[in-house]
Structure 1
Amino acid sequence: MILSDSLLLLSLALAAEAAVGYPNRLYTAIGHPVTWIGRLIKGLDRALNREAWSFAQRRSAGILALLILLTVTGLAAWVLSALLLPLGLIGILLLAILAGSLIAQRSLHEHVAAVSKGLREGGIDGGRKAVSMIVGRNPQSLDEAGVSRAAIESLAENFSDGIVAPAFWLGLGGLPGAALYKAGNTADSMIGHRTPRHEAFGWAAARFDDLVNLPASRLSALLIIAAAALNSGASPGDALRAVRRDASHHRSPNAGWPEAAMAGALGLRLAGPRVYGDVRVEDRWMGDGRAEATADDIDLTLKLYRTACALLFGLAAGLALLAWFIVR
């Protein structure tokens, strides 16, 4: 697939996913590409992650598992592209629907909006219940400000790795590029943890995810800064300053970029000390504003998010048009 086709596919996928998401009926009937990838990861974990093996052996097994995962996923996506592209516009549209399933604009908006609604209609209990659907930290440890910050942080981070990153690799490599990214990202979420079972086996998945998310995290921060410039109540200058000052201090090499940008844009402090299960994590703050976030801040975050998604679509469509003129 040439670059102009990939960029056209990206534009159509972003538009289709924003409009309809991934229909529940389709999920019930055939599942979702991420669930298919997840089953393969679970199978590789069971087959290759042996507790009796040494740390080095389990790390090598994890590298092998990642290579198998990427090979199977990439080959399947390449075959689908090869079968559908010769069909012309119909094939491109079908590929756009498939590619759109790897992007989560609509579902992320719905989940974060549910936290704002939960706080407004159900108080702290409603907010905790809604936020527990999108974050791994202990919701009972969160007050209203903590619930609001958790929702905003989740949106900022997932804007990068759930929307911008698959879009970046889709535009660069077509459906195989997006599928390979999603496979690595799903592997990181499932096995890329520093637990006794996965510290060695998941090492390759975690490092691969860090690498492929690097360009998208920076682009995400720029999109949030640009979105702040287009929305009253947000500050693009503070967003830029927060990124330059704080992004590199996040424990993740990538998550700090969109989180710092969002914190500065909103005049908030995000990240910082948090509780996962019974474990308190002492992270650095992103931004130097107030920590007392509210449902109103979540709503403004969603406005910035919608604007940033629109800017991403505009960028994709503009590049697709430019590429079309170049290859004519």
Structure 2
Amino acid sequence: MEWQLWLTSIIIPLGFLLDRLIGDPLWLPHPIRWMGNAIMWSEPRFRRYISRELLAGGCFALFLIFSCWLLCFLALKIAATISPLLALVLEIVMVFYCLSIQSLKQAAMDIYKELQRGDTDQAREQVAMIVGRDVQSYQGKDIARATVETVAENFVDGVVSPLFYAALGGGPLMLTYKMVNTLDSMVGYKNDKYLYFGRAAAKIDDLANWIPARLSVGIIALAAAIPPFTTSGRAWKLALQEGREHASPNAGYPEAAFAGALGVRLNGPNYYGGILVEKPYIGRQFEPPKVEHIELACNLMVRSAQLAVFLAWVVCLILLFCKLL
């Protein structure tokens, strides 16, 4: 029994290694797409049978979140009855699916390469695939800013939060977090359709990311202490000063830490669906990002991810040691 428990300590490092090796190829079946299908299938049914939108949206979100955890938990239990090794491999695959380090870096670096070649039109098309704002009029500096902001914001959703929940509850809790995140990305909008129905999903996502977003500041600051950055203090200071100024209760913290580490100005006004949304600048004392800051942001993100993996692995070892006492 003890050797099986010790084997679980390699789940996070191996899942991370798998993500770094193969990323997120489109040909590979992905549970996030299954989650999206489950959300689209469930939404009209909850709307039909529960008339009050706020209540319907709350039941809808809780049902999908709990169902996700239960299915993953049962899948691991069934796999363990067949073979402990099969359960181990399945959980490593769960971790791999929930991490977005390689795919986030690849998406950003594809944009960087197009800008380096001077193909602004292609870069604009690619950035439109990873941001929700209007980018039709974006030029090189605007594309660079949007890309750096995306790398910074998604460091929490795609790295820190999944690892945080993997350390606490393994693959099932990690995939449950991804269901929370997917719900927010699909229904957590403040428009006429989802203002009430999507409110529970948005609030649950805010709550799920609250601790990881703040933990990310320390992780980014530590990563920024390693050359060529050596801007740890600036990252930490800016996150504490301006992290809460973002419209999101969580996204501002990693964004401000990245802004401080890279010495760039992020956030600010953007158009969404033709409507100008005023947002405060983060790192207003700095200049906007240049094309080369995309590569620097990716390097900082990967270093921060490696540190986050190590810290999550240490937490797993501590929890494992407590079980063995």
SS of equivalent to 2:276: strand
The alignment status of 1:108 with 2:104, answered yes or no, reads yes
C-alpha separation between the residues in 1 aligned to 2:234 and 2:289?
17
Match of 1:59 in 2: 54
Query: Whole-Å Cα distance in 2 between the matches of residues 118 and 224 of structure 1?
Result: 27
Among 146, 149, 159, which residue is 1:150 paired with?
146
| In structure 1, C-alpha distance between the alignment counterparts of 2:268 and 2:139, rounded to whole Å | 15
Name the CA shift for 1:290/1:66 in 2 (closer, same or farther; >3 Å): same
The equivalent residue for 1:183 is 179
Quote the offset at 1:299 in angstroms: 0.9
TM-score normalised over the length of structure 2? 0.92
Q: Which residue of structure 2 aligns with residue 302 of structure 1?
A: 298
Quote the RMSD (CA, aligned, Å).
Answer: 2.3
Q: Is the 8 A contact 1:3 1:172 kept in 2?
A: no
Deviations, residues 168-201 of structure 1 (Å, cap 9, x unaligned): 1111111221121111110000000011111100
CA drift of 1:51 comes to: 12
2:228 is matched with which residue?
232
Q: Shift of the alpha carbon at 1:322?
A: 4.2
Alpha carbons of structure 1 residues 51 and 265: separation in structure 2 relative to 1, 3 Å: farther
TM-score normalised per structure 1: 0.91
Match of 1:248 among 234, 244, 250: 244
Specify the SS of the correspondent of 1:150: helix
How many aligned positions are there? 321
The separation in 2 between residues aligned to 1:322 and 1:315, in whole angstroms, is 11
Q: How much does 1:101 deviate?
A: 0.6
Shift of 1:71: 2.3
CA distance in 2, matches of 1:65, 1:324: 34
Question: Is the CA contact 1:11–1:313 (under 8 Å) kept in the aligned structure 2?
Answer: yes
d(CA) in 2 for partners of 1:296, 1:36: 36
Tell me the alpha carbon deviations over residues 94-145 of structure 1, each in whole angstroms, 9 at most, x when there is no partner: 3201321111111111001111111111432232122111111111232222
Q: Return the letter of the residue paired with 2:113.
A: K
In structure 2, give the amino acid aligned to 1:21: G
**What secondary structure does 1:196 align onto?**
coil
Indicate the residue corresponding to 1:38 in structure 2: 36
- Unaligned residue ranges in structure 2 (runs of 5+): none
Aligned partner (choices 257, 260, 284) of residue 261 of structure 1: 257
| Pairing 1:1-328 to 2, within 5 Å after superposition | 7-25=9-27, 27=28, 31-49=29-47, 53=51, 57-86=52-81, 87-233=83-229, 235-326=231-322, 327=324
The alpha-carbon distance between structure 1 residues 5 and 277, as it changes in their structure 2 partners (threshold 3 A), is farther
Three-state SS of the structure 2 residue aligned to 1:154 is helix
* Residues 69-113 of structure 1: CA deviation (Å, up to 9, x unaligned): 012211110111112335233421232013211111111110011
Q: How far has the Cα of 1:278 moved from its partner?
A: 0.6
- CA distance change for structure 1 residues 276 and 64 in 2, over 3 Å: closer, same or farther? same
SS in 2 for 1:49: helix
Q: Distance in 1 between matches of 2:321 and 2:74?
A: 28
> Aligned-pair distance for 1:285?
1.2
Identity %: 33
The superposition leaves residues 29-52 of structure 1 with CA deviations (integer Å, 9 ceiling, x where unpaired) of xx3101111111112222223599
- Contact residue 219 and residue 307 of structure 2 kept, 8 A: yes
How far 1:3 moved relative to its partner? 8.7
Give the 4+ runs in structure 1 shifted more than 6 A. 2-5
| SS of the residue 1:64 aligns to | helix
For residue 276 of structure 1, report the CA deviation from its aligned partner. Answer: 1.6
Q: 1:145·1:291 contact (CA, 8 Å) conserved in 2?
A: no
Deviations 1:196-253 (A, max 9, x none): 1111000100000000011111122211111111131451111111111101111100
